[in-house]
Amino acid sequence: MKAVILAAGYGTRLLHDLQNDNQQGLKHLIGIPKPLLPIGKLPLISYWVEALEARDDVTDIYVVTNDYYYAKFKEWAQKYGSVTMLADRTANNEERLGAISCFQLVIDTFKVNDHVIVIGGDTLFFEDFHLRDVIAKFENLFNGNDQANLVLSYPCKDEETKKYGILETDENQMVTVMREKPPAGDTKSRQACPCFYVFSRGTLPLVQVFLEEKKSAPIDDKDAPGHLLSWLVKRKPVYIHPISGRFDVGNLESYLKCNKYFQDEIKNVSDYLL
């Protein structure tokens, strides 16, 4: 099994907040990509890498970023022997490839032909998330159907559906529809879907098919990973693994909330995510 951490965003919302903040004394964070922001005792992305490295069944960790931040990630990655860095050859937000194209870049560059865990580089979860549970569930699903895929879901409020991808599922926890940011009245589901997917090897060729179909589409259609998922559930079986919640570090408010949680609430950092 491989892991791909998507870290090629430019963090424009957070940068804007930091530049305009006069209260928190966080100007020193300007220029740090979101996955490398200090959260508690570690850079955000390090929680993922250390948990993945603790497993025998995850053999490679690929981190894809942009040219603008590549040197900072390269310096960070020197601590981790299992991490391979890849730059997407873009230097600003207007040039960005989008998260799905970055995923395909990893598949093409490293000839990936294995199950893949895809993780958003600005995302962390509450303490009830454990890699061991997710991977065990995926393996069980795969043993029953070698085309199966697994995603996470967590409960959201009525007013939050228009901010997230929302999953509708059947009685077997299989996704029937993924709705991207629907109004609350358009769906009865309140199952939000973060950027954490376990794709079976048989699913990987469909990423390129999706991109071919969307080659003339706006960049937003190739940037939000949820667009790939909503397309995929019509073609491959996708199941959910429920968790209680997540942190999505998108702006200054969410960063402060996440950092405070890790400083005050995480009881055992060494076991976190494992």
Indicate the pLDDT class of residue 6, thresholds 50, 70 and 90.
Answer: very high
pLDDT at 266: 79
Rounded Cα distance between 247 and 257, Å, is 8
Q: Are 45 and 264 in contact (CB under 8 A)?
A: no
Q: Which two tokens stand for residue 19?
A: 């530049």
Q: How confident is the model at residue 222 (pLDDT cuts 50, 70, 90)?
A: confident
Say if 35 falls within a structural domain.
yes
> Is 173 inside any structural domain?
yes
Pairs from 260-266 (Cβ < 8 Å, separation ≥ 24) = 262/39, 262/40, 262/41, 263/40, 265/127, 266/40, 266/127
Residue 260 has pLDDT above 80, yes or no: yes
Q: Is 34 strand, coil or helix?
A: helix
- b/e map 96-134, b = 16+ CB within 10 Å: bbbbbbbbbbbbeeeebeebbbbbbbbbbbebebbbeeb
Whether residue 149 is contained in a domain is answered as yes
Q: Is residue 16 part of a domain?
A: yes
Per-residue pLDDT averaged across 207-229, rounded?
91
Q: Are strands 42-43 and 38-39 parallel, antiparallel or unpaired?
A: antiparallel
How many structural domains comprise the chain? Answer: 1
In a domain, 141, yes or no: yes
Residue 49 structural domain: 2-268
Predicted local confidence at residue 236, as pLDDT: 98
Q: How far apart are CA 33 and CA 168, in angstroms?
A: 33
Whole-structure pTM value: 0.96
273, part of any domain? no
CATH code, domain carrying 65: 3.90.550.10
User: How much is the pLDDT for 203?
Assistant: 98
Measured at the CA of 118, the angle between CA 36 and CA 140, to 5 degrees, comes to: 135
Out of 41-55, 75-89, 184-198, 220-234, pick the least confident: 220-234
Span 90-144, pLDDT tens digits = 999 999 999 999 999 999 999 999 999 999 999 999 989 999 999 999 999 999 9
Q: Residues of the chain with pLDDT > 70: what percent?
A: 100
The pLDDT value recorded for residue 267 is: 73
Give 172-198 pLDDT, tens digit per residue: 999 999 998 999 999 999 999 999 999
For position 264, what pLDDT does the model report?
Answer: 87
224 inside domain: yes
Higher confidence at residue 138 or residue 270? 138
What band does 18 get if pLDDT is binned at 50, 70 and 90? Answer: very high
- Asked whether residue 274 is assigned to any structural domain, the reply reads no
